[in-house]
Amino acid sequence: MEMKLDSIRAAEATLLLSTYERNPILFVGGEGVHLVDEQGNKYLDLLSGIGVNALGYGHPAIVNSLAEQSRKLIHTSNLYFHEGQAKLALRLTEMTGLDRVFFANSGTEAWEAAMKTARAYAGLRSSEGHTLGTKFLALENSFHGRTFGSVSTTHKEKYREPFAPVVPGVEFVRFNDVDDLQAKFSSDVCAVLVEVIQGEGGIRPISPEFLATARKLTQESGSLLVADEIQSGMGRTGKWCAYQHYDIQPDITTLAKPLAGGLPLGAMVCSEEAARAIHAGMHGTTFGGGPLACAVAIAVIDAMRQEDLLVHINDVGGYFKETLRALASRQAVITDIRGMGLMLAAELNSADMAKLVVAKMLQRHILINRTSETVLRFLPPYILGRGDVDTTIAALDEILTEQKATAPEATSTMSSYQKRN
Ligand SMILES: *Cc1c(COP(=O)(O)O)cnc(C)c1O
């Protein structure tokens, strides 16, 4: 049978920029925590479109708000008022503990807004006689997006180097190294930029000491602490924002991935004080915070509150982590289990093994991905059930046990490991 996938693949190969190495699957639908391919095969989705489809597929809150709002109004531009922005901003300020919101269309745009606000704030303070420099301190292993500002604060060289020169004035601090932070911090710094749990960097939580030090140093100098919660925010870790696990309030946070249940929407949320730096005309967007995306985001948040999903995320996430730990005690290739809520990872002892496990899981119709070479990442929809966790753990257990038994595979893993070293 001629599959649609083959012709689409051939067409894309000549028509699209070669930015992605896609898995050879054509998804045509989804329901709950499952995706469906063109042959009707169901896949258990533990990645949710990279942490986006928080309510899974076909959730009535999303479907209904989308249908209703699309009949009323899809776009107005930011030249006029519509009902959604203030309503959504009220929710985001309640959730983050911050005061004011700027809406964008993606994570990287929310991050650009945060960087621009920090630079503008430093300028404002300097004009008021309190000198602040223009330097950003970002963290090693960070990921903040692909536009120029964001990529400048992203640590991995392969993302930055082809596009050099990137935005100047960024220095990287060793992750969780309090001494390095103290050594590099000065009145030249306008903001310290962190992911509270590094996502692309391998699901690595920031240490309480490091975050507390960043908060203290920025507070003392009058500069800003900026927390990127694009992956970890909106309930993913069992609290609305991951920094709430640390009892630390940043001056700015950024949200995006799960914010509008699959529609593109980003938000930069900041303190009243930081917001003083931005006035009419300084920043903006044509599409950001449109009526459709806002209506769906409101529906997502209200559904999360009605369904008590934060409680569920803590419950099922705790169970998932516990069973991963138990699996790690049986399978020696698992060297670490990390994360909070439904932002979890299992680190393996080799990149080849991690790659193999992702491929074998896909054969079993379970979607996970590999980040930071050796890390299996789990970012499932918030509606994941304990039974889905059991299915996942059983599959991982079988795959890893098979691998132990197949000597040739183990040898090839070893030889490629030795080649690299
Ligand atoms: C995904 C991500 C971004 C970039 O978001 P895009 O919507 O892809 O631009 C930025 N920061 C973090 C922590 C992310 O996980």
Domain holding 276: CATH number? 3.40.640.10
Residues 199 and 143 in one domain: yes
pLDDT for position 3: 78
Which whole-number Å values give the CA distances from 332 to 329, 347, 356, in the listed order? 7, 11, 16
Residues 206 and 135 in one domain: yes
Token pair recorded at residue 394 = 């059983």
The average pLDDT across 345-367 equals: 98
User: Of all atoms in ligand 1, which is nearest to the CA of residue 231?
Assistant: 15
Specify if 418 maps to a domain. no
User: Of all atoms in ligand 1, which is nearest to the CA of residue 198?
Assistant: 13
CA angle (402 as vertex; 398, 403 as ends), nearest 5: 120
Please check the confidence at residue 332 and state whether its pLDDT lies above 60.
yes
Using an 8 Å Cβ cutoff, are 137 and 185 in contact? yes
pLDDT for position 1: 56
Specify if 419 maps to a domain. no
CA distance 348 to 399: 13
CA 271 to ligand 1 center in whole angstroms? 21
Please return the burial class of 72, using the count of CB atoms within 10 Å of its CB with bins 0-12, 13-18 and 19+.
Answer: exposed
**In sequence order, what are the residues at sequence separation of 6 or more whose Cβ sits closer than 8 angstroms to the Cβ of residue 278?**
102, 116, 117, 120
49 lines ligand 1 (CB under 6 A): no
User: Of all atoms in ligand 1, which is nearest to the CA of residue 108?
Assistant: 9
Residues 215 and 334 in one domain: no
pLDDT for position 416: 43
Name which of 78, 25, 31, 56 is nearest 362 in CA terms: 25
Residues 140 and 98 in one domain: yes
Residues 93 and 40 in one domain: no
Rg (the chain; Cα; Å): 22
Residue where one domain finishes, among candidates 290, 306, 322: 306
CA angle (62 as vertex; 58, 88 as ends), nearest 5: 155
Residue where one domain finishes, among candidates 250, 282, 306: 306
Share of the chain above pLDDT 70, in %: 96
Specify if 420 maps to a domain. no
User: Of all atoms in ligand 1, which is nearest to the CA of residue 111?
Assistant: 10
**What is the helix, strand, coil percentage profile of the chain, to 5?**
45, 20, 35
Specify if 159 maps to a domain. yes
pLDDT of 78-125, one tens digit each? 999 999 999 999 999 999 999 999 999 999 999 999 999 999 999 999
**Stated pTM of the model:** 0.95
Residues 320 and 396 in one domain: yes
CA distance 161 to 310: 40
Expressed as residue numbers, the domain containing 51 is 4-59+308-411
What value does the mean pLDDT of the chain take?
Answer: 96
Share of the chain above pLDDT 90, in %: 95
Domain holding 15: CATH number? 3.90.1150.10
CA distance 54 to 36: 17
pLDDT for position 414: 46
Residues 43 and 129 in one domain: no
159 lines ligand 1 (CB under 6 A): no
Q: Which of 257, 268, 343, 369 to mutate to test the pocket of ligand 1 (most atoms within 8 A of CB)?
A: 257
pLDDT for position 406: 83
The average pLDDT across 373-379 equals: 98
pLDDT of 204-250, one tens digit each? 999 999 999 999 999 999 999 999 999 999 999 999 999 999 999 99
Residues 216 and 269 in one domain: yes
Tally of domains in the chain = 2
pLDDT of 289-328, one tens digit each? 999 999 999 999 999 999 999 999 999 999 999 999 999 9
pLDDT for position 97: 98
Binning pLDDT at 50, 70 and 90, where does residue 407 land? Answer: low
Residues 327 and 390 in one domain: yes
Residues 299 and 314 in one domain: no
pLDDT for position 146: 98
CA angle (203 as vertex; 32, 231 as ends), nearest 5: 55
CB atoms within 10 A of CB 16: 10
Strand arrangement, sheet containing 100-104: 100-104, 266-270, 252-255, 224-228, 189-195, 135-139, 170-173
Q: Which of 230, 253, 265, 377 to mutate to test the pocket of ligand 1 (most atoms within 8 A of CB)?
A: 230
254 lines ligand 1 (CB under 6 A): no
pLDDT of 152-209, one tens digit each? 999 999 999 999 999 999 999 999 999 999 999 999 999 999 999 999 999 999 999 9
Binning pLDDT at 50, 70 and 90, where does residue 415 land? Answer: very low
Residues 25 and 100 in one domain: no
Residues 284 and 312 in one domain: no
CA 189 to ligand 1 center in whole angstroms? 23
CA distance 380 to 392: 11
CA distance 214 to 184: 11
Specify if 238 maps to a domain. yes
Specify if 68 maps to a domain. no
Specify if 223 maps to a domain. yes
Q: Which residue has the tokens 């946070």?
A: 253
Specify if 317 maps to a domain. yes
